[in-house]
Structure 1
Amino acid sequence: MKNSINLRFGVLVAIILVAIAFRFLAVIAPTLSNFSPVGTIALFGGAYFAKKQWAFIIPMAALWLSNLVLNNVFYKQWYPTFSFGFDLGTFFCFALVVAIGILTLKKVTVTSLLTANLLGTVVFFVVSNFLVWTGGKMYPQTFEGLMSCYTMALPFLKNTLTSNLIFSAIMFGAFEYAKSTSKVLQLQ
């Protein structure tokens, strides 16, 4: 039993690590801004890690480590000093998406996965852009400023939702298929 739990844990971590590598697509193709697996990784962790602390720890560690590389190697022009790769608002929003995965994906079905993706995408969009607005650096602290913030973020919303749906089909599909062919990957 313990070996099957360790194998399942290892497979989940491996899928997340492979997926996080796709964050680097934005470096190669800047038009794919916000086309990233991070939302799916959050949902995936929430859905499959039996111990829910790992549902938060593993996806957040993957996000943080990829932020370290992206910010300090590829996006140095925006980070004149060393970036620790941690933005409290972003990680808070990411944690909300993990929680959505935990709550909505107790049983993974096409319907529950679509619901989780839509809910996770909208929650991340609304909360993260609200935090951008409250930061007071880019938009005036008025209702018009808030609406401008959301309006300017709309192009990113499309790529976020599209990538969440595509990466969900791949990641959840791969793990569900693996579970169907190996009892070791199923929770007892």
Structure 2
Amino acid sequence: MKNSINLRFGVLVAIILVATAFRFLAVIAPTLSNFSPVGTIALFGGAYFTKKQWAFIVPFAALWLSNLVLNNVFYKQWYPTFSFGFEPSVFICFALVVLIGIVILKKVTIESLLTANVLGTIVFFVVSNFLVWTGGKMYPQTFEGLVSCYTMALPFLKNTLVSNLLFSAIMFGAFEYAKSTSKVLQLQ
């Protein structure tokens, strides 16, 4: 029993790490802004880790470590000093998407996965851009500034939703297929 739990945990971590590598697509294809597995990683962790602290720890670690590399190696022009890879507003939104995975994906079905993806994408968009507006200097602290913030972020919304749906099909599909072929990966 203990070995099957360790194998399941290892497979979940491996899938998340492989998906995290796809964050580097934006480096080689800048037109793919916000085309990333980040939302799916959060939903996946929320859906499958039986100990829910791991649903936060593993995806957060993957996001943080990839942020360290991306920010300090590839995006140095935006980070003139060392970036610790932790932006509170992003991690708050990420935590909300993990919670959506925990609540909506107790049973993974196509319908629940579509619902979680759409809701996760909308929550991330609404909350992250609200936090950009309240905490930044890019937009005036007026209603017009808030509208402008959301309007300027709209082009990123499409890539976020499409990537969440695509990576969900791959990640959830791969794990569900693996579960169907291996009783060790199924919950007891």
Q: Does residue 43 in structure 1 map to residue 43 in structure 2?
A: yes
**Inter-partner Cα distance in structure 1 for 2:138 and 2:77:** 19
Residue by residue over 1:18-37, the C-alpha shift from the partner in whole angstroms, topping out at 9 and shown as x without a partner, is 00000000000000000000
**Inter-partner Cα distance in structure 2 for 1:154 and 1:79:** 24
Off by >6 Å, runs of 4+ in structure 1: none
* Cα displacement (A) at 1:117: 0.1
* Cα displacement (A) at 1:127: 0.1
* Cα displacement (A) at 1:135: 1.2
What percent of counterpart residues are identical? 90
Match in the other structure for 1:168: 168
Match in the other structure for 2:52: 52
**Inter-partner Cα distance in structure 2 for 1:4 and 1:186:** 9
In the superposition, the TM-score normalised over structure 1's length comes to 1.00
* Cα displacement (A) at 1:57: 0.3
Match in the other structure for 1:70: 70
Within 5 A, what are the aligned runs for 1:113-132?
A: 113-132=113-132
**Inter-partner Cα distance in structure 2 for 1:8 and 1:124:** 28
Gaps of 5+ in 1: none
**Inter-partner Cα distance in structure 1 for 2:75 and 2:178:** 36
What amino acid does structure 1 have at the position aligned with 2:5? Answer: I
* Cα displacement (A) at 1:102: 0.1
* Cα displacement (A) at 1:136: 3.4
Match in the other structure for 2:28: 28
Match in the other structure for 1:152: 152
Match in the other structure for 2:177: 177
**Inter-partner Cα distance in structure 2 for 1:5 and 1:136:** 44
* Cα displacement (A) at 1:5: 0.1
**Inter-partner Cα distance in structure 1 for 2:17 and 2:136:** 34
Match in the other structure for 2:106: 106
What amino acid does structure 1 have at the position aligned with 2:178? Answer: A
SS at match of 1:141: coil
SS at match of 1:80: coil
What amino acid does structure 2 have at the position aligned with 1:6? Answer: N
What amino acid does structure 1 have at the position aligned with 2:103? Answer: L
Residue by residue over 1:52-80, the C-alpha shift from the partner in whole angstroms, topping out at 9 and shown as x without a partner, is 00000000000000000000000011111
What amino acid does structure 1 have at the position aligned with 2:187? Answer: L
SS at match of 1:59: helix
In the superposition, the TM-score normalised over structure 2's length comes to 1.00
SS at match of 1:89: helix
**Inter-partner Cα distance in structure 2 for 1:168 and 1:17:** 14
SS at match of 1:140: coil
**Inter-partner Cα distance in structure 2 for 1:112 and 1:185:** 21
